[in-house]
């Protein structure tokens, strides 16, 4: 049985008892593309691929940024604290759960590797390092280290790394990021097989198929109208399959993308309305705005706004147009930019008004 002491990141207060805010120092683990580049380097003649895990990775790195003090559970408090009513101590190392722990661990790891001769190969592929002298490439994903290069040089590289970072003993590449790596020796070449079978088995029981694509014309229409057996867990299953596809099963990418587009057709709905000369003192109207995400089984309120207009409208349609401008400019268009980037596709925005004259003016 294993246990881990963690920092309760959901219960952090500042000196005034308010929710504490940190600098949000983010980490950037190695990308899948960079990881595969490391694999490719290890397939060269005379090269090999090995891996190792950092031991208690985060707490190897000092915690910087805002000073943090913690309460220890009573069973972990030393006897010298017994006379204290509510003792606290300063958090010195990057304890799991702290919002900035991952960022400080990555910075510590980067500094440690660079101190023994490694260089980061690209700003775009962070956490991928190369040792020019030893000709060894190393990919780092949080506490998982993968190195490839000449067999003899790997031993020296691991010695250098382990002089700065505590890791387990290096082993031949096996399971890395949920994928079994099998290096196969053929007659005239070496290849690496990515086995995602165990990972995908956790997602859903699947039938053998000769191709991931189906002739949609042969699918009955009722399939689109009736909820599937995995409807409640569809998004979770989809993300796991997508991970497997991105890591090792490129042949599934198009099929997964098609499946993702069917998960639920989400759209954005924006409402705008206005009264007419509602303020007795200034005769100005008030704009009302509401923005939400909608779907067959989805409703998420995103934004609401009530704002007195900065001009005096001479009619109800004029006030409605001012409200429409506020809604589209401050909520609708910015939301579309965000959703387009997040979803990776165009998301529909439906704009709702209840004044026919204003609607005709907008359409014109």
Residue 305 has pLDDT above 70, yes or no: yes
How far apart, in whole angstroms, are the C-alpha atoms of residue 128 and residue 116?
Answer: 15
Ramachandran area for residue 97 (φ above 0: left; ψ -120 to 50: alpha; else beta)? left
- pLDDT for the residue numbered 166: 94
Mean pLDDT of 176-184: 81
- pLDDT for the residue numbered 227: 67
* Each residue's pLDDT tens digit, 31-43: 777 787 788 888 8
pLDDT bin (cut points 50, 70, 90) of residue 120 is confident
Residue 320 has pLDDT above 70, yes or no: yes
pLDDT bin (cut points 50, 70, 90) of residue 20 is low
Residue 199 has pLDDT above 60, yes or no: no
- pLDDT for the residue numbered 224: 62
Residue 27 has pLDDT above 60, yes or no: no
Q: 45-54, 297-306, 338-347: which has the highest mean pLDDT?
A: 45-54
How far apart, in whole angstroms, are the C-alpha atoms of residue 160 and residue 113?
Answer: 8
Residue 204 has pLDDT above 80, yes or no: no
Mean pLDDT of 282-310: 85
**Parts of the chain belonging to CATH 3.10.20.370:** 267-363
Q: Is domain 267-363 annotated with CATH 3.30.70.1150? A: no
pLDDT bin (cut points 50, 70, 90) of residue 155 is very high
Q: Give 11 or 335, the one with higher predicted confidence.
A: 335
Q: Give 116 or 98, the one with higher predicted confidence.
A: 116
Task: End-to-end CA distance of the chain: give it in Å, rounded.
Answer: 70
* SS3 readout for 56-101: CCHHHCECCCCCCEECCCHHHCCHHHCCCCCCCEECCECCCCCCCH
Residue 203 has pLDDT above 70, yes or no: no
Contacts of 232 (CB under 8 A, 6+ apart): none
Average pLDDT, the chain: 81
- pLDDT for the residue numbered 268: 85
- pLDDT for the residue numbered 263: 57
The percent of residues in the chain predicted with pLDDT above 70, rounded, is: 76
- pLDDT for the residue numbered 243: 73
- pLDDT for the residue numbered 260: 67
Mean pLDDT of 146-169: 94
Residue 231 has pLDDT above 80, yes or no: no
């Amino acid at each position: 049985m294993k246990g881990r002491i963690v920092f309760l990141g959901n219960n952090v207060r500042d000196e005034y008892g308010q929710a504490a805010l940190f600098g949000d120092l983010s980490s950037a683990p190695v990308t899948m593309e960079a990881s595969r580049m490391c694999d490719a380097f290890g397939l060269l003649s005379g090269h090999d691929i090995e891996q190792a895990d950092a031991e208690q990775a985060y707490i190897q790195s000092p915690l910087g940024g805002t000073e943090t003090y913690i309460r220890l559970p009573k069973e972990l408090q030393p006897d010298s604290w017994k006379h204290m009513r509510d003792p606290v101590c300063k958090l010195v190392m990057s304890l799991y759960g702290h919002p900035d722990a991952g960022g400080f661990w990555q910075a510590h790891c980067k500094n440690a590797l660079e101190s023994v001769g490694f260089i980061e190969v690209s700003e775009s592929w962070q956490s991928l390092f190369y040792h020019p002298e030893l000709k060894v490439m190393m990919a780092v994903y949080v506490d998982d280290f993968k190195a490839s290069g000449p067999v003899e040089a790997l031993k020296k590289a691991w010695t250098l790394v382990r002089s700065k970072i505590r890791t387990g003993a290096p082993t031949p590449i096996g399971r890395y990021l949920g994928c079994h790596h099998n290096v196969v020796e053929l007659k005239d070449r070496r290849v690496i097989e990515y086995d995602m079978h165990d990972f995908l088995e956790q997602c859903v029981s699947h039938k053998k198929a000769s191709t991931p694509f189906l002739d949609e014309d042969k699918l009955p229409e009722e399939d689109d109208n009736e909820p599937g057996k995995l409807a409640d867990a569809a998004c979770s299953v989809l993300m796991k399959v997508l991970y497997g596809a991105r890591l090792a099963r490129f042949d599934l990418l198009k099929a997964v993308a098609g499946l993702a587009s069917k998960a639920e057709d989400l759209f954005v709905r924006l409402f705008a309305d206005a009264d007419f000369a509602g303020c007795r003192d200034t005769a100005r109207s008030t704009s009302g705005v509401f923005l939400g995400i909608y779907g067959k089984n989805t409703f998420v309120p995103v934004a609401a706004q009530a704002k007195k207009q900065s001009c005096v409208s001479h009619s109800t349609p004029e006030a409605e147009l001012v409200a429409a401008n506020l809604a589209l400019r401050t909520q609708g268009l910015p939301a579309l930019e965000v959703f387009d980037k997040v979803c990776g596709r165009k998301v529909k925005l439906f704009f709702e008004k209840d004044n026919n004259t204003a609607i005709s003016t907008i359409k014109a």
